[in-house]
Amino acid sequence: VRGPLPQRLGEQNEQTQCIVELKPGDLIEIFRSCYQHWAIYVGDGKVVHLAPPCEHPMDGIASVLAALSDRAFVKKDWLEDVVRKDRYRVNNKHDETHPPLPVSKIVRWAEELVGREMPYNLTSHNCEHFVMELRYGVAMSDQVTEAIAMGTVGVMGMAAAVIRSMAQRRKHRKE
């Protein structure tokens, strides 16, 4: 029988570990190699999260499965099993702009969803959307917003480079 996970918070500096008390309803941001996975703390060392059909211990495979899948399952797991060796932190980042729902409602709703199959889409129904809706009643994902913004900036940058290159070629031809 496991005891609750030591209640720690992974900081940016890996040499520093800051002790925090996890509270039911807290959003847990887990830093995977190339994305963040999100879960919601429900107490006693456990979290509820949205995961691809078969969550492999190797996060690269799980993230590929998630990207290719159009469904995911709501799971309740030990926080330490979900975090593995990755850094994590409590990140209730929208508390100032979106008042959280009552903790009892958040936890009850999360627990009621455990075991359910849910639609999954990287841009509209991912693990961050899932936990944000549980905490705030609004499904949102800053990862998606930032990725779209970066993609837009990237596309605009590429377009500018192409236009600049074409202009230089025309100028060079005229000379």
56 catalytic residue (yes or no): no
Check if 94 is active-site. Answer: no
Out of 34, 56, 127, 172, pick the active-site residue: 127
| Structure token digits, residue 98 | 């979106």
Out of 49, 54, 125, 129, pick the active-site residue: 49
Choice among 37, 54, 56, 129 that is catalytic: 37
Residue 49 designated active-site? yes
CA distance 110 to 41: 9
* CB contact at 8 A, 79 and 47: yes
Q: Which residues of 147-173 are buried (b: 16+ CB within 10 A; e: fewer)?
A: eeeeeeeeeeeeeeeeeeeeeeeeeee
Residue count of the chain, please give it: 175
The residues annotated with a catalytic role in the active site are 37, 49, 127
